[in-house]
Amino acid sequence: METLQLNERVQKKNTDWRALINELGKDFAGRAGHYDQAGTFVFENYEQLKAHRFFSAMIPEELGGGGISHAEMCDIIRIMAYYCSSTALAFSMHQHLVAATVWKYKHQGEGAPLLQRVAKEQLVLISTGARDWLESNGEMVKAEGGYLFSGKKYFASQSAGGDLAITSAPWLDTDNEWQVLHFGVSMKAEGVTVLDDWDVLGMRATGSQAIQFDKVFVPDSAISLTRPGGKFHPVWDVVLTVAMPLIMSAYVGTAEKAVEIAMSIGKKYYRNQGHMHYIIGKLNNSLLSARTQWKAMYALTGNFDFKPDENITTDMLSLKTNVADAAQQTVSEAMEAIGGQSFYRKNVLERLFRDVQAAGFHPLPRWEQYAFTGERLLAR
């Protein structure tokens, strides 16, 4: 048994994760159009990722994971998006929850049991963060030994194929003060229903259906954090710092694929030959802007070696908006390079254009980010 475990550790350590995702990505690309047209979750892709232990690749080796760096996971997601944007974005949502827990494990000695479960069972963690900002939503009613949780969480990526929802809800405490409680809920728990409502413009295969919680019992022991409602809490300095680079990796990879298509088809597109060099030059500038600022994002995490700081958070959110803008601009300019043929669904670029539109909707959306950043800069 000890020899088998040792061999497994050696195998994980020696895995060339980038080469492996490039190999699996060929299958992802072959299925991407079908999943997009049907608007169904990328189940087959996830099964392949589980088989190769990608869901625990960033978990420390001593907990059963692959021990890769945060930056390497960002790059894996970027490569994945080159083949299938939806798979990459859904996968990034699991990884950002893993990343926040890895930070807690490294700096506070907490979170090991969850990370070990993910590594052992290849559990898929579902984020409901899009509806869990300062106030959160839903209802918590005190019950014996815990709470009864009710509410609906939209944009819950991977809810169609996930195992554990990491969520939160407001609670009016005994002092008549609003608190937000954070906890995990098994997707198999009584009262949990995944709705069939993910019929959207882009990222159609992320399985981001809303989750309906109806009086789901949450034991006291499941509450991982209690914070004041409506107020910024230092936990966001951790979550946003590790999450945003991973999430935006999906859009950088999408933009890179768009540029490749523009280059290969644009060379043959006779109508633009007189000014194609200008178009491609400008296109490269836009892509370089996305790539450079994305790299600045994950550099801020220092592979989990950072002290939570509101200054890092404000920079991270600003960079997130900039990368989203640059990725969207890149894909739009790629369409200009090949003209009207990019408007046809048979052209992959049409799907990439729809997928990249989602970039701006991740927390914080543009105007909320401007306000958040501006308020803090003026208060210094």
Secondary structure, 3-state, 60-89: CHHHCCCCCCHHHHHHHHHHHHHHCHHHHH
Residue 10: the pLDDT is 42
Q: Cα angle at 55 between 52 and 59, to 5 degrees? A: 110
Q: How far is CA 229 from the centre of its chain?
A: 24
- Nearest CA among 184, 190, 182 for reference residue 228: 182
Task: Give tens-digit pLDDT for 94-134.
Answer: 999 999 999 999 999 999 999 999 999 999 999 997 668 89
CATH numbers and ranges of domains, the chain: 2-124 (1.10.540.10), 129-228 (2.40.110.10), 235-378 (1.20.140.10)
Look at residue 275 in the predicted model and tell me its pLDDT.
79
| C-alpha–C-alpha distance, residues 58 and 55, integer Å | 8
Contacts 24+ apart (CB under 8 A), 134-138: 134/180, 134/229, 134/230, 134/231, 134/232, 135/170, 135/178, 135/180, 135/229, 135/230, 136/168, 136/169, 136/170, 136/180, 136/229, 137/169, 137/170, 138/167, 138/168, 138/169, 138/170, 138/213
Helices (H), the chain: 2-14, 17-38, 43-51, 70-83, 85-108, 112-121, 235-266, 276-301, 310-338, 348-356, 366-378
- Report phi then psi at 183, rounded to 5: -165, 170
User: What per-residue confidence (pLDDT) applies to 2?
Assistant: 43
Q: What angle do CA 210, 130, 166 make, to 5 degrees?
A: 75
Query: Do residues 261 and 110 lie in contact, with contact meaning Cβ atoms separated by under 8 Å?
Result: no
In 109-171, which ranges are continuous DSSP H helix? 112-121
Is the separation of the CB atoms in 276 and 266 below 8 Å? yes
Neighbours of 114 (CB within 10 A): 22
* Nearest in space to 354 (alpha carbons), one of 280, 251, 262: 251
pLDDT digits (tens, 9 = 90+) for 262-309: 999 877 766 767 778 898 899 999 999 999 999 999 999 999 999 999
pLDDT of residue 176: 94
pLDDT of residue 269: 67
DSSP code of 271?
Answer: G
Q: What is the DSSP letter of 177?
A: -
**Which token pair is 107?**
């700096």
- pLDDT at residue 74, as a whole number: 98
Size of the chain, expressed as the number of residues it contains = 380
Copy the structure tokens of residue 14: 């020696």
From the list 144, 133, 131, 322, the residue with the least C-alpha distance to 231 is: 133
State the pTM of this model.
0.95
pLDDT of residue 368: 95
Q: What is the pLDDT of residue 144?
A: 97
Question: What was the pLDDT predicted at 13?
Answer: 58
Residues with pLDDT less than 70, the chain: 1-13, 130-131, 269-270, 272
Alpha-carbon dihedral angle through residues 126, 75, 331, 257, given to the nearest 10 degrees: -110
Both structure tokens of 273: 């030959």
- Taking Cα atoms as reference points, which of 280, 271, 369, 304 lies closest to residue 59? 304
Contacts of 68 (CB under 8 A, 6+ apart): 17, 57, 58, 76
